[in-house]
């Protein structure tokens, strides 16, 4: 069924269109009916299906126009992609202009090819009437998306490669098009959003991020001895993780006095791309430090007593 929708249905529609625009092939129509249908088709489609077949020269010229415009589009997009390798800003601008180029080339190629075939485009556009008005209203969202995309690029709100948070979805900007922005998270999930719908977005790539880790130790531990151990161990943590830590982790002091533990706070700077990796590495190093020096990490215990 799926294959029929992809291949069979378009073929059936093409055959039906061929039969409809060739009234001379319909044995159920008389001569006067065929002439009336041909005249109506000529009026509706601007002469494209008027019954007078286009010459071979016109068909070849129209095909040449389509190929020429296609090649021009490919060349322009290739040049823009080469320019996009310089920086994230140029990648963002290139994505926008590539989308715009494809859209313009499609319109130009279609109009040019139809004019070569002798189609009365002015008559077609004039006969659209209310339909063109409806299409104009429907295109308002497209125009809004395009204008918003231009402002996003030139104001530098975010660029391709930036890590952003939009509606609790955290990911990397993959492309900024004329209509939409594509964002991919660490799991490969892709979120595609219309440019005009992007509001309250957080650009997490503008500054370094800070991973925060809280370590709970038992009240029985001597806080001064623990702090001395921490001061000795922190430089080694940085040496073991220079790929994710931008600087040596910092001990910020006692964060809270919990019900069963003293909570110590640690932070470390990292790029947004390595934020979670830095958070996990810091937690691991703190656990290894406690194991190495016998620092007790308390945990909740349930005491059950039975009445005699």
Residue 217, token pair as written in the block: 């130790």
Q: What is the pLDDT of the chain when averaged over all its residues? A: 77
Question: pLDDT tens-digit profile of 147-199?
Answer: 777 777 777 777 787 888 888 888 888 888 777 888 888 778 888 888 888 87
The answer to whether 301 and 282 are in contact (CB under 8 A) is no
- Listed residue (118, 129, 107) closest to 59, CA to CA: 118
Intrachain domains 142-203 and 209-293 with the same fold: no
pLDDT at 144: 76
Give the contacts of 282 (CB within 8 A, at least 6 positions apart).
211, 213, 237, 245, 249, 266, 268
What is the helix (H) or strand (E) element at residue 121, kind and residue range?
helix 121-128
Looking at the predicted structure, is the pLDDT value of residue 272 above 50? Answer: yes
pTM over the 0.85 mark = no
Quickly state the pLDDT bin for 127 (edges 50, 70, 90): low
Which of 86-95, 96-105, 183-192, 268-277 comes out lowest in average pLDDT? 86-95
- How would you classify the pairing of strands 262-270 and 209-217? antiparallel
* Averaged pLDDT, 192-209: 79
pLDDT digits (tens, 9 = 90+) for 43-53: 665 555 554 44
pLDDT band at residue 80 using 50, 70 and 90 as cut-offs? confident
Domain boundaries, the chain: 1-34, 142-203, 209-293
pLDDT of residue 147: 77
Q: What is the pLDDT at residue 286?
A: 92
C-beta of residue 171 within 8 angstroms of C-beta of residue 185:
yes
d(Cα 122, Cα 106) in Å, to the nearest integer?
Answer: 19
The pLDDT score that the predictor gives to residue 283 is 92
Q: CATH classification of 209-293, choosing from 3.90.800.10, 3.40.50.1400, 3.30.70.100, 3.30.420.40?
A: 3.30.70.100
| Domain 142-203 of CATH type 2.30.30.60 | yes
């Amino acid at each position: 069924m799926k294959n029929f929708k992809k291949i069979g249905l378009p073929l059936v529609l093409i055959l039906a269109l061929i039969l409809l625009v060739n009234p001379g092939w319909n044995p159920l129509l008389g001569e006067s009916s065929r002439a009336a249908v041909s005249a109506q088709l000529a009026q509706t489609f601007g002469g494209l299906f008027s019954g007078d077949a286009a010459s071979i020269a016109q068909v070849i010229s129209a095909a040449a126009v389509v190929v020429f415009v296609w090649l021009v589009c490919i060349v322009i997009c290739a040049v823009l992609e080469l320019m996009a390798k310089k920086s994230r800003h140029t990648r963002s601008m290139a994505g926008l202009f590539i989308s715009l180029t494809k859209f313009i080339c499609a319109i130009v190629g279609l109009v040019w090819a139809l004019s070569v075939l002798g189609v009365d485009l002015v008559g077609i556009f004039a006969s659209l009437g209310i339909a063109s008005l409806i299409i104009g209203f429907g295109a308002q969202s497209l125009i809004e998306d395009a204008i918003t995309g231009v402002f996003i690029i030139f104001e530098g709100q975010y660029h391709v490669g930036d890590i952003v948070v939009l509606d609790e979805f955290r990911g990397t900007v993959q492309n900024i098009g004329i209509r939409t922005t594509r964002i991919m998270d660490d799991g490969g999930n892709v979120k595609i959003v219309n440019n005009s719908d992007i509001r309250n977005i957080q650009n997490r790539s503008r500054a370094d991020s800070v991973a925060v880790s809280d370590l709970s130790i038992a009240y029985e531990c001597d806080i001064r001895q623990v702090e001395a151990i921490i001061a000795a161990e922190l430089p080694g943590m940085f040496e073991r993780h220079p790929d994710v830590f931008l600087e040596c982790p910092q001990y910020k002091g006692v964060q809270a006095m919990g019900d069963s533990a003293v909570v110590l706070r640690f932070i470390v700077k990292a790029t947004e791309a390595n934020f979670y990796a830095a958070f996990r590495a810091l937690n691991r190093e703190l656990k290894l430090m406690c194991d190495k020096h016998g620092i007790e990490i308390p945990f909740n215990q349930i005491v059950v007593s039975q009445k005699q």
